[in-house]
């Protein structure tokens, strides 16, 4: 049998255990951290009512999480203005990813509740996952491994610049 090492998987498993044990929320921690910590927290954009953060354990390159600053577990708990701001951040994220990654499509969705697959059920967030024709291959099917082609640190710098450029352009319009 061949072995394929994926040490990031143990980091993911440990992070789930830590959040359950101490009740911490990685989204709240990233949102409350000073902006100079954005690169280490993988935050790529801060809006007025919410923010965009990279998924530390992505399904594909460019996998983003869009979350309100307010810690709520369900979309219906958001005020209308917060829900609108969340969707505006999703739209901005789609525009940025089209520029930086040129995907053929996207998966956009929210898992509400642990049974629905939410790894963090108490802080609602929207996943935006770029997709390309042929991006599903034998690795996830046979080896349960997804190949990500770019370092998260490089991706964070690239996306932060792209979000800054996109919001500067929209202010100029």
Q: Which residues are catalytic?
A: 125
Q: Are 119 and 16 in contact (CB under 8 A)?
A: yes
Distance CA 124, CA 110 (A): 8
Closest CA to 90 of 101, 146, 82: 82
Give SS3 for 140.
Answer: helix
Distance CA 169, CA 155 (A): 21
């Amino acid at each position: 049998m061949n072995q394929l090492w994926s040490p990031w998987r143990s980091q993911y498993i440990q992070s789930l255990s830590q959040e359950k044990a101490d009740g911490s929320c990685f989204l709240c921690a990233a949102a409350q951290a000073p902006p100079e910590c954005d690169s280490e927290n993988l935050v790529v954009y801060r809006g007025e009512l919410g923010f965009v953060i990279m998924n530390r354990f992505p399904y594909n390159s460019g996998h983003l999480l869009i979350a309100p600053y307010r810690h709520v577990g369900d979309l219906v708990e958001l005020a209308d203005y917060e829900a609108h701001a969340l969707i505006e951040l999703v739209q901005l994220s789609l525009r940025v990813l089209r520029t930086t990654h040129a995907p053929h499509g996207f998966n956009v969705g929210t898992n509400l509740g642990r049974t629905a697959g939410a790894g963090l059920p108490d802080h609602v967030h929207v996943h935006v996952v770029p997709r390309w024709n042929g991006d599903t291959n034998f690795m996830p099917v046979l080896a349960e491994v997804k190949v990500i082609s770019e370092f998260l640190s490089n991706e964070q710098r690239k996306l932060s610049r792209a979000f800054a450029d996109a919001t500067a352009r929209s202010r100029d319009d």
